[in-house]
């Protein structure tokens, strides 16, 4: 997991290939600890080729965590295979999803 | 009524018991004694110039009163005996006056007086009692006047006073008991009158017969009218009436009578009499009679009633009813149950429904959309009998209408979930108002697509024999019975069909049939039975099941409706190459699963839309993750076991079958959670449902679980 800070916006990029029942718990904890203290977070999913329902649950948990301290979180660069899931559950009604990281950053500024 | 009469009898007895002379011989004895005393007195004191005249007078009195006593003994109850008695008494008064005044006899007349008083009080009817007392007083007054004027000796006066005193004592006794022998005759007469009135006016015949029923003590006059035999003839030969009993009832009547004689119990039975004026129905009521409370039953009272009219009406009604029931059953069987009248290509089907009453709440419906597609409904309406049958018919017509409406609107064969949803919407509300519900399976066998689809509305499972796997799967669906929720989303389950497969649809009457010990037949027995019958034709299978259930329940009639349908596929496309993978029961296998699925889909369905492919991978991943989580991670006993995945292409369809050995799939989160609740999990099952066309879940009796996921990859157009 790569974490960077840019103009007060925290960039978290996941570096695993998948976010599924196998690793979602661990990654969820990491994401929560890495988003501590930030009120603007961009979650980059560019490396992820597969997310299942537990991975989705992990993302929603992080989103809730940030939202509880009045922060904002957006998702950037999901692959097509991940977008399928997002479409199925209509995630865009809840979390903004951007094709490019720069768009995501711009939306938070 | 009977009791009151008995009470009256007891009262009568106690009054009679209080009388001075309880029997006529005693009275006669008393009279003889008085006469003897008179004779002695006469011989020793009164033998004088008057000769034997006083003795003769006394003898006359004795003879006359004795004759009255004898007449009374004959139990005649006519009033003119008391009148005769009164006349006799008057004669005696005259004799006495004659003796006293003209012959100056002292002892004798006083004794005669005594006798007279006793008799007068004893024999006189209560009605004449007061008038006679008045007469007595007048006569004593006259004696007194004679005494004072003629200066009678004092002993005569004493005798007179003594007799007056005695008279007073008897008078008191009379006042207590009031009833003389004559009075009791009066009452007897009244009772007899009442009895006669009853006897002559009641149309029922009553008899009093001996304990062996071979002797008739009494038979009422209505007997002659009923039997057309004279009473005398009957009393002389009691068996004569038996000849008139209708041949077919004779044995039964004899048995009833014999058991009445043996058990000394009341009996009540009907039989037919073939009299001279045609057939009539009689009701016999036999009551045991004890002539005294402490004795055994030594007589029988029998009441015979002519019930021809009511019996005829009853029979007519029963006949009408059974005709009605027969007709209802006929209508249900022939007009409401459709059969496999149109042969379905490559399918051997048979159906049977046996209602527990004349009509039942079970029904089935078979509708051929084409030579390749057949829709089957098997339904069980809550309850039994005609209301249930009527509801069944109503729901069946609602299905027809929905099918027609949808076909017209869509210009194609409507999907089964739409048909069920439409029907449910139209009749569920009414069912809910009535508090009724219907469980059913709406199934479709499509030999074009080689699929078996069904919507399960809370019915018993469908048994599916897989010829390839040589085992029975118990298929269950998802929905609640019709009449619970009119807006429920109907969920289709789809199972691929192969050659030699058997689908067995049945109502719970089969598995709930109970034997004598109350043990239910159960699904295991049914599966075992079917397993040994899969080589038979559908109708043979059904006959076999029917017979075995019938023997098992060991009853004359089934306690619940029994309905079953068997479908056997005779032809089906050749088995396509299957691809399969064995997955370890660990989360690490998910990666293997995904690559297997991606590879299979790309290879078998080249040109598949990438989004669809990715979605299918998600669904499969969710299914396997669910199985792993709820089996191998939760139950250490299952550690190391594997999941078997089979992928198959069926035309445009892709079919994945997942098998595992362990616990049931966890369907606990069937309803999709709202995403806005930001829950950390629970999206798996709803995702699977969203992605796949059908999920069907089943298990076999060996505990193997099967989940079939089906998705149409290329649509027909």
Q: In this complex, which of A52, A57, A90 lies closest to B621 when CB atoms are compared?
A: A52
Residues of B with CB under 8 A from a CB of A: 587-588, 590-591, 594, 610-611, 614-615, 617-618, 621-622, 625, 628-629, 675-676, 678-684, 687, 690-691
Return the higher-pLDDT residue of B163 and B440: B440
pLDDT of B371 > 70? The answer is yes
pLDDT of B12 > 60? The answer is no
Contact criterion met (CB < 8 Å) for B611 and A94? no
Q: In this complex, which of A28, A53, A94 lies closest to B622 when CB atoms are compared?
A: A53
- Closest Cα in chain A, distance from residue B699 (Å): 25
Interface pTM, i.e. ipTM: 0.90
Q: In this complex, which of B622, B676, B682 lies closest to A52 when CB atoms are compared?
A: B622
At A6, which CATH number? 3.30.750.24
**For residue B517, what are the CA distances in angstroms to B108, B511, B527, B560?**
97, 15, 21, 17
Contact criterion met (CB < 8 Å) for A21 and B691? no
Q: In this complex, which of B590, B680, B690 lies closest to A61 when CB atoms are compared?
A: B680
Q: In this complex, which of B611, B621, B683 lies closest to A57 when CB atoms are compared?
A: B683
**For residue B18, what are the CA distances in angstroms to B132, B487, B567?**
21, 91, 95
Read off the tokens for B360: 């039942």
* A contacts of B614 (beta carbons < 8 Å): 80-81, 84-85
Which pLDDT score is estimated for B4?
A: 40
Q: In this complex, which of B590, B614, B622 lies closest to A84 when CB atoms are compared?
A: B614
pLDDT of A96 > 80? The answer is yes
Closest among B398, B412, B343 to B371, alpha carbons compared: B343
B514 secondary structure, DSSP code = B
* B contacts of A52 (beta carbons < 8 Å): 590, 618, 621-622, 625, 684
* B contacts of A20 (beta carbons < 8 Å): 587, 590, 621, 625
Give the angle A42-A48-A49 at the CA atoms, nearest 5°.
Answer: 145
DSSP characters for B134-175? Answer: HHHHHHHHHHHHHHHHHT--HHHHHHHHHHHHHHHHHHHHHH
Q: In this complex, which of A60, A81, A94 lies closest to B614 when CB atoms are compared?
A: A81
pLDDT of A22 > 90? The answer is no
**For residue B496, what are the CA distances in angstroms to A14, B36, B493, B569?**
41, 127, 10, 12
CB atoms within 10 A of CB B675: 16
Query: CA dihedral defined by A33, A39, A40, A46, rounded to 10 degrees?
Result: 10
Tell me the pLDDT band of A11, cut-offs 50, 70 and 90. very high
Angle between helices A80-89 and B684-691 (to 10 degrees): 100
pLDDT of B10 > 50? The answer is no
Average pLDDT on B302-318 reads 84
**For residue A25, what are the CA distances in angstroms to A28, A58, B499, B687, B695?**
5, 7, 46, 20, 28
B389-416 tens-digit pLDDT: 888 888 988 999 999 999 999 899 999 9
B315-361 tens-digit pLDDT: 888 777 777 777 777 777 776 677 776 677 888 899 888 877 667 78
What does the buried/exposed string (b/e) look like for B689-717 if buried means 16 or more CB atoms within 10 Å of the residue's CB? bebbbbbbbbbbeeebbbbbbbbbbeeee
Q: A22 at the B interface (CB within 8 A)?
A: yes
* A contacts of B678 (beta carbons < 8 Å): 60-61, 63-64, 67, 94
- Residue B26 CA to residue B421 CA, distance in Å, equals 103
Read off the tokens for B25: 């011989």
Contact criterion met (CB < 8 Å) for B691 and A64? no
Read off the tokens for B153: 């000796």
Contact criterion met (CB < 8 Å) for A22 and B614? no
- Residue A56 CA to residue A40 CA, distance in Å, equals 20
Q: In terms of CA atoms, which chain B residue is nearest residue A65?
A: B678
Closest among B507, B492, B514 to B459, alpha carbons compared: B507
Tell me the pLDDT band of B554, cut-offs 50, 70 and 90. low
- Closest Cα in chain A, distance from residue B676 (Å): 7
Domain extent, residue A10, equals 2-108
Range name among B36-40, B174-178, B370-374 with the lowest pLDDT average: B174-178
Contact (Cβ atoms closer than 8 angstroms) between residue A104 and residue B631: no
Mean pLDDT across chain B, nearest whole number? 78
Q: A57 at the B interface (CB within 8 A)?
A: yes
pLDDT of B40 > 90? The answer is no
Assigned CATH class of B338-569: alpha beta
B202-306: in CATH 3.30.450.20: yes
Which pLDDT score is estimated for B550?
A: 81
Q: In this complex, which of A53, A60, A80 lies closest to B687 when CB atoms are compared?
A: A53
Q: Would you list the domain boundaries of chain B?
A: 2-187, 202-306, 338-569, 579-712
* A contacts of B611 (beta carbons < 8 Å): 80, 84, 87
Read off the tokens for B249: 């009832």
Report strand pairing: A97-98 vs A72-76. Answer: parallel
Contact (Cβ atoms closer than 8 angstroms) between residue B714 and residue B605: yes
Which pLDDT score is estimated for B128?
A: 56
- Residue A108 CA to residue A72 CA, distance in Å, equals 8
Contact (Cβ atoms closer than 8 angstroms) between residue B462 and residue B502: no
Contact criterion met (CB < 8 Å) for B691 and A88? yes
Average pLDDT on B466-473 reads 90
B66-100 tens-digit pLDDT: 666 566 555 444 455 556 666 766 676 666 666 66
Assigned CATH class of B579-712: alpha beta
Contact criterion met (CB < 8 Å) for A21 and B615? no
B690-709 tens-digit pLDDT: 899 888 888 888 888 999 99
B638 secondary structure, DSSP code = G
Which pLDDT score is estimated for B440?
A: 94
- Closest Cα in chain B, distance from residue A53 (Å): 5
Average pLDDT on A21-26 reads 89
* B contacts of A49 (beta carbons < 8 Å): none
Contact criterion met (CB < 8 Å) for B610 and A56? no
Q: Which residues contact B371 (CB under 8 A, 6 or more apart)?
A: B342, B343, B344, B345
CA B325 to chain centre: 19
Average pLDDT on B454-481 reads 91
Which pLDDT score is estimated for A46?
A: 92
Which pLDDT score is estimated for A82?
A: 92
* B contacts of A61 (beta carbons < 8 Å): 678, 680
Q: In terms of CA atoms, which chain A residue is nearest residue B618?
A: A52
* B contacts of A66 (beta carbons < 8 Å): none
Q: In this complex, which of A18, A58, A94 lies closest to B675 when CB atoms are compared?
A: A94
pLDDT of B200 > 60? The answer is yes
* A contacts of B690 (beta carbons < 8 Å): 88
- Count A/B contacts: CB-CB distance under 8 Å: 83
Of the residues A54, A68, A93, the best mutation for testing chain B's interface (the one with the most B CB atoms within 10 Å of its CB) is: A54
Tell me the pLDDT band of B162, cut-offs 50, 70 and 90. low
Contact (Cβ atoms closer than 8 angstroms) between residue B77 and residue B185: yes
pLDDT of B41 > 80? The answer is no
Q: In terms of CA atoms, which chain B residue is nearest residue A23?
A: B587
**For residue B427, what are the CA distances in angstroms to A48, B25, B397, B436, B588?**
50, 94, 10, 11, 50
Average pLDDT on B474-487 reads 88
Q: How many domains does chain A have?
A: 1
Range name among B232-246, B546-560, B561-575, B603-617 with the lowest pLDDT average: B546-560
Contact criterion met (CB < 8 Å) for A94 and B678? yes
Closest among B84, B57, B58, B87 to B69, alpha carbons compared: B84
- Closest Cα in chain A, distance from residue B680 (Å): 4
Task: Report the percentage of chain B scoring pLDDT > 90.
Answer: 19
Contact (Cβ atoms closer than 8 angstroms) between residue B288 and residue B185: no
């Amino acid at each position: 997991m790569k974490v960077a800070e840019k103009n007060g916006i925290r960039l978290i990029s996941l570096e695993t290939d998948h976010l599924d029942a196998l690793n979602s718990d661990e990654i969820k904890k990491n994401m929560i600890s890495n988003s501590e203290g930030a009120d603007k977070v961009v979650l980059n999913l560019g490396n992820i080729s597969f997310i299942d329902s537990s991975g989705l649950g992990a993302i929603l948990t992080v989103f809730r965590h940030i939202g509880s301290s009045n922060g904002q979180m957006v998702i950037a660069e999901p692959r097509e295979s991940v977008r399928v899931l997002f479409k199925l559950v209509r995630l865009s009604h809840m979390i903004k999803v951007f094709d490019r990281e720069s768009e995501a950053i711009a939306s938070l500024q | 009524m009977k009791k009151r009469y008995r009470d009256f009898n007891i009262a009568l007895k106690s009054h009679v018991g209080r009388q001075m002379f309880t029997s006529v011989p005693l009275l006669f004895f008393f009279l003889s004694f008085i006469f003897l005393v008179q004779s002695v007195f006469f011989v020793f004191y009164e033998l004088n110039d008057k000769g034997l005249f006083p003795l003769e007078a006394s003898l006359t009195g004795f003879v006359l009163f004795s004759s009255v006593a004898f007449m009374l003994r004959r139990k005649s109850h006519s009033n003119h005996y008391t009148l005769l008695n009164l006349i006799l008494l008057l004669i005696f008064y005259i004799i006495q006056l004659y003796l006293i005044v003209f012959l100056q006899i002292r002892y004798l007349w006083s004794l005669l007086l005594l006798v007279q008083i006793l008799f007068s009080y004893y024999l006189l009817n209560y009605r004449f009692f007061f008038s006679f007392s008045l007469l007595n007083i007048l006569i004593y007054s006259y004696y007194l006047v004679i005494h004072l004027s003629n200066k009678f000796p004092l002993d005569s006066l004493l005798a007179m006073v003594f007799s007056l005193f005695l008279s007073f004592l008897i008078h008191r006794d009379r006042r207590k008991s009031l009833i003389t022998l004559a009075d009791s005759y009066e009452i007897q007469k009244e009772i007899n009158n009442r009895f006669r009135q009853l006897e002559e006016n009641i149309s029922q015949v009553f008899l009093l017969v001996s304990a062996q029923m071979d002797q008739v003590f009494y038979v009422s006059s209505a007997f002659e009218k009923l039997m057309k035999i004279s009473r005398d003839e009957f009393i002389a030969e009691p068996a004569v009436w038996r000849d008139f009993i209708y041949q077919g009832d004779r044995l039964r009547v004899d048995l009833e009578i014999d058991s009445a004689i043996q058990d000394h119990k009341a009996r009540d039975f009907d039989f037919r009499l073939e009299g001279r004026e045609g057939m009539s129905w009689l009701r016999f009521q036999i009551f045991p009679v004890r002539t005294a409370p402490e004795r055994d039953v030594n007589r029988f009272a029998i009441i015979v009633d002519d019930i021809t009219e009511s019996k005829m009406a009853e029979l007519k009604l029963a006949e009408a009813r059974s005709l009605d029931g027969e007709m209802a059953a006929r209508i249900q069987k022939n007009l409401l149950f459709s059969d496999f009248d149109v042969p379905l290509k490559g399918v051997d089907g048979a159906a049977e429904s046996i209602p527990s009453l004349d009509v039942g709440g079970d029904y089935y419906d078979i509708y051929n959309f084409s030579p390749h597609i057949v829709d089957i409904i098997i339904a069980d309406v809550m309850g039994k009998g005609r209301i249930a049958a009527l509801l069944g018919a109503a729901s069946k017509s609602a299905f027809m209408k929905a099918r027609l409406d949808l076909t017209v609107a869509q210009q194609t064969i409507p999907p089964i979930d739409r048909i069920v949803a439409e029907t449910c919407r139209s009749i569920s509300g009414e069912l809910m108002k009535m508090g009724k519900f219907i469980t059913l399976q709406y199934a479709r066998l499509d030999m074009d697509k080689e699929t078996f689809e069904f919507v399960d509305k809370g019915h018993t499972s469908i048994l599916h024999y897989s010829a390839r796997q040589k085992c029975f799967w118990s298929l269950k669906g998802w929905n609640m019975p019709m009449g619970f929720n009119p807006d429920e989303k109907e969920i289709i389950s789809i199972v691929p069909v192969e050659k030699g497969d058997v689908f067995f649809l049945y109502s719970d009457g089969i598995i709930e049939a109970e034997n004598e010990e109350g043990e239910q037949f159960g699904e295991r027995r049914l599966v075992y039975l079917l397993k040994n019958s899969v080589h038979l034709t559908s109708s043979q299978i059904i006959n076999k099941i029917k017979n075995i259930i019938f023997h098992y329940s060991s009853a004359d009639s089934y306690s619940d409706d029994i309905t079953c349908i068997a479908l056997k596929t005779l032809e089906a496309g050749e088995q396509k190459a299957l691809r399969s993978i064995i997955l370890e029961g660990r989360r690490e296998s998910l990666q293997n699963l995904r690559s297997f699925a991606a590879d299979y889909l790309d290879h078998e369905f080249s040109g598949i839309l990438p989004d669809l492919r990715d979605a299918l991978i998600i669904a499969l991943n969710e299914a396997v993750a669910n199985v792993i989580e709820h089996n191998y991670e939760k139950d250490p006993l299952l550690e190391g076991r594997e999941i078997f995945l089979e992928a198959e292409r069926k035309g445009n369809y892709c079919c994945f079958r997942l098998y595992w050995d362990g616990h049931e799939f966890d369907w606990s989160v069937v309803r999709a959670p709202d995403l806005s609740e930001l829950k950390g999990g629970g999206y798996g099952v709803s995702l699977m449902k969203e992605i796949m066309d059908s999920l069907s879940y089943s298990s076999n009796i060996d505990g193997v679980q099967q989940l079939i996921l089906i998705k149409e990859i290329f649509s027909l157009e």
